[in-house]
Amino acid sequence: MERLNERVQAIEVIIHKYMPKAEGYAATVMEAMNYTMNAGGKRLRPMLMQETFYMFGGTGETIEPFMAAIEMIHTYSLVHDDLPALDNDDYRRGRKTAHIVYGEAMAILAGDALLNYAYETAAKAFSMTTEVQPVVRAFTILTQKPGIYGMIGGQTADVELTGTPLSEDALEYIYENKTGALIEASMMIGACLAGASLDAVKEIEKLAGIVGRAFQIQDDILDIEGNEEELGKPLHSDEENGKVTYVTIHGITDAKAEVEHLSQQAVKILDGFPQENPFLRELILSLVHRRK
């Protein structure tokens, strides 16, 4: 736990370094960007990115703007998810959501700004190295995975199918894209920037997809039997919003068994690499037992 906290704190420093100062006529949107980014959280995506980078022998600072960028993209998606038109949540990570504090219009702009600023930030990596090809590969992944063939595609299906009978196939699509795509992007970018082979990056994508599915099912479980104080948001929001989840279809017991099974699958793929990162292994397994 101590090692985890140390890594989170180090990631917070990196993220803070790349955030804009609130100044000028656009100060309010910058303030809203910082408000949402400073709300804390697990910083799972930049952590997975960094640890995958280390596993493949990555060195240097080119990873840092990508770590900040992936968290900006994740946070923008949360800002928009919380809006009245979508999940209509008043609290996120234990404090009021952006649209409650700054109003709907500014929350929309803050989300837009975080997405755009993520690409501005990641682009800084091009001037940090003479070996630009790994950065090109990483940047390409960053532009694709959050989009219509990734996170946005999953969110679209989630919005349109909420309140309707949901097939296993549709649920799989939503989990694979809405949650899995950014986790895949994180780990693939870490591998690319470390110079991993195309085959290795493909295996990492497969591993990360499994981790994303396990993470989302655990999220479904916590929405029912989690601790509201630990989660920083109300319980049973899925049920209230009419969402069908893995738990709805299979029940709590089977959902917990599936998370355990998926985590073991992910670790098996990880253990198949000649490179090792014991902390990354622990991190993946910890998803089974997380309480928030």
If DSSP codes are grouped into helix, strand and coil, which group holds residue 177?
helix
pLDDT higher than 90, residue 128? yes
Count of C-beta atoms within a 10 Å radius of residue 111: 26
Tokens of 155: 């969110």
Task: Read off the pLDDT band of 55 (50, 70, 90).
Answer: very high
**Burial per residue of 209-247, b for 16 or more beta-carbon CB atoms within 10 angstroms, e otherwise:** bbbbbbbbbbbbbbbeebeeeebbbeeeebeeeebbbbb
204 dihedral zone (left: phi>0; alpha: psi -120 to 50; beta)? alpha
Distances (CA, A) of 103 to 83, 86, 110: 10, 15, 11
pLDDT digits (tens, 9 = 90+) for 77-123: 999 999 999 989 999 888 999 999 999 999 999 999 999 999 999 99
Tokens of 278: 């014991």
Spatial CB neighbours of 240, under 8 Å, sequence gap ≥ 6: none
Rounded distance, CA 48 to CA 284, Å? 9
Q: In percent, how much of the chain has pLDDT > 70?
A: 93
- pLDDT score, position 279: 95
Q: Mean pLDDT, to the nearest integer, of 117-140?
A: 97
Q: What are the φ and ψ backbone dihedral angles of 105, each rounded to 5 degrees?
A: -60, -45
- Scanning the chain, the segments in alpha helix (DSSP H) are 2-18, 27-37, 44-55, 63-81, 98-102, 104-122, 133-144, 151-161, 168-174, 180-193, 198-225, 228-231, 237-240, 246-250, 252-271, 278-289
Domain count, the chain: 1
Of the candidates 112, 116, 185, 176, the residue with the CA atom closest to the CA atom of residue 145? 185
Of the candidates 70, 11, 6, the residue with the CA atom closest to the CA atom of residue 40? 11
Q: Mean pLDDT, to the nearest integer, of 166-194?
A: 95
- pLDDT score, position 238: 57
pLDDT digits (tens, 9 = 90+) for 219-246: 899 988 855 555 444 555 555 556 789 9
Q: In percent, how much of the chain has pLDDT > 90?
A: 80
Query: What single-letter DSSP state applies at residue 236?
Result: -
**Burial per residue of 46-60, b for 16 or more beta-carbon CB atoms within 10 angstroms, e otherwise:** bbbbbbbbbbbebee
pLDDT digits (tens, 9 = 90+) for 142-162: 999 999 999 999 999 999 998
pLDDT digits (tens, 9 = 90+) for 275-291: 999 999 999 998 777 77
pLDDT digits (tens, 9 = 90+) for 179-190: 999 999 999 999
CATH number of domain containing 182? 1.10.600.10
On whether the CB atoms of residues 15 and 71 are closer than 8 A, the answer is yes
- pLDDT score, position 251: 92
On whether the CB atoms of residues 182 and 45 are closer than 8 A, the answer is yes
Provide the Cα torsion 86, 87, 92, 95; round to 10°: 90
Domain limits at 116? 2-289
Length of the chain: 292
Rounded distance, CA 136 to CA 117, Å? 18
